[in-house]
Structures are given as C-alpha cells and as structure tokens.
C-alpha cells in the first residue's frame, strides 16, 4: 500500500506558504495538515483536535519526556510541538502530511525524521516580498526592514531543503508542490523489493 509522505514546508514570512498549502489540500485528496499541540489557550473559533491539540503544560511536558514530538519549541510563555503519533498514523494510512514550519523547526524535523520531503517557498524577488509585507499594512518601516532581514536569514537555509518553489502565481506554485508530491511517490524506495518479489512469484 502507498505510504504517506511528510512534507515540511518553510519560507519567509509573507511569501504565501499558507495559501499554497491550503490550495494543495483543496486540490489533492489524501493530503492533510499536521495538527500541532500547544499550551496556549484556544482563540475564538479554534477547535481542539482540528486547529491544535490544546493541552496543559503538564501534559505537554510529559509528552516531551515520552519523546512524543517530531519537534517542539517554546515561544515566549507557550509550548508548541508536532506530535509524532498524529503524523505517523496519517502516514501509515497513506495520507501525506503537510507541516508548515520555520527553518529552525524544519531542521529539528530533519534530525528526527530525515525521510521527510523538505520544500522551501521563495518569493519571485525581495522587492516583491517587501511589497507583500507592506501590503499587509500593519508594519512600520523599521519592522519591515527587520522582517526582510529575517527573510534573508530564513532563505540562507535553502541548501538544507530538497526542493524550492517560487510563489509567483499561487496556482502554479500549488501545482508545483503537487508535482513534487507525485514524484516523491514514484521514488524507487525500499518497498520496490516487494514489487520485484511479486513479479518473481508470478513467473
């Protein structure tokens, strides 16, 4: 049976990775988001087990102790992590799992799960990224410069990734990610020996 693949997707803030992931999940059957676990409180409209698994700090720490995360991090007062069990169940059921995460988190995943498919989303240009960030209309000039510096720092991790996709046109970028998913399912991997054995039995 087809085994799912873990797709680890990073890219600078403002590049549109969220929109790409959403589009891919809309277009493709058998591709789902990974659901993170967090100790922060649910916001209005957020559903436990759908947006996040909302847990207490005690529960989170016991999961860390049980090696229950592919990666986890503390951001200010709260913990966030990718629960291993949730991802593994989906992969075993043949579902591809999308994990949208920053480069730091992705590098942790690469250590704990090197068989993931690491995809980096690039802006068509830094000028374009700048205007997308400005377009949000929420940041002051100095914050924009900070974000662009941060973006360059993120992009410098690109050589740790398997693929890069330029988000010029949203549909094209999503199709590009879908091509990567399809190609990865055509990789010659260990399970190919089952195929050969099956053939040998037949003749």
Nearer to a copy of itself, 47 or 188 (CB): 188
Nearer to a copy of itself, 67 or 159 (CB): 159
Instruction: Kindly tell me which of 29 and 202 has the beta carbon lying closer to a copy of itself.
Output: 202
Binding site residues, a copy of itself, CB under 8 A: 119-120, 122, 125-127, 130, 148-149, 152, 155-156, 158-159, 161-165, 175-176, 178-180, 182-184, 186-188, 192, 195-196, 198-200, 202-203
Counting Cα atoms < 13 Å in the Cβ hemisphere of 130 gives: 11
Contacts 24+ apart (CB under 8 A), 17-25: 17/100, 17/121, 17/167, 18/100, 19/170, 20/121, 20/165, 20/167, 20/170, 20/173, 20/174, 20/177, 21/98, 21/100, 23/170, 23/171, 23/174, 24/98, 24/174, 24/177, 24/178, 24/181, 25/98
Give the nearest distance from C-beta 174 to a copy of itself in angstroms: 12
CA torsion angle for 67, 69, 70, 75 (degrees, to 10)? -130
Q: Which is nearer to a copy of itself, 74 or 187 (CB)?
A: 187
Q: How far is the CB of 82 from a copy of itself (least distance, A)?
A: 22
3-state secondary structure of 66: coil
> What is the SS3 string spanning 93-116?
CCCEEEEECCHHHHHHHHHHCCCC
For the bound state, the minimum distance from the C-beta of residue 137 to a copy of itself, rounded and expressed in Å, comes to 20
* Min CB(80)–a copy of itself separation in Å: 26
Q: How far is the CB of 36 from a copy of itself (least distance, A)?
A: 25
User: Judged by CB, which is closer to a copy of itself: 95, or 126?
Assistant: 126
CB of 12 to a copy of itself, least distance (A): 10
């Amino acid at each position: 049976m087809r085994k799912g693949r873990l797709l680890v997707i990073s890219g600078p803030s403002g590049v549109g990775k969220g929109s790409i992931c959403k589009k891919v999940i809309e277009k493709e059957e058998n591709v789902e988001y990974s659901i993170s676990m967090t100790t922060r409180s649910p916001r209005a409209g957020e559903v436990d087990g759908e947006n996040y698994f909302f847990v207490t700090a005690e529960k989170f720490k016991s999961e860390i102790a049980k090696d229950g995360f592919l990666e986890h991090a503390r951001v200010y007062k709260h913990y966030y992590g990718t629960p291993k069990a949730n991802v593994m169940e989906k992969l075993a059921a043949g579902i591809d799992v999308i994990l949208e995460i920053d480069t730091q988190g992705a590098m942790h995943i690469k250590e704990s799960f090197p068989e993931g498919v690491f995809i980096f989303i690039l802006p068509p240009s830094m000028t374009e990224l700048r205007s997308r960030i400005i377009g949000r209309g929420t940041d002051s000039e100095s914050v924009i410069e900070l974000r662009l510096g941060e973006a360059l720092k993120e992009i410098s991790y690109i050589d740790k990734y398997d693929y890069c996709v330029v988000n010029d046109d949203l549909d094209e970028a999503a199709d590009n990610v879908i091509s990567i998913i399809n190609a990865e399912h055509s990789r010659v991997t260990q399970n190919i020996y089952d195929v050969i054995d099956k053939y040998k039995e037949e003749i």
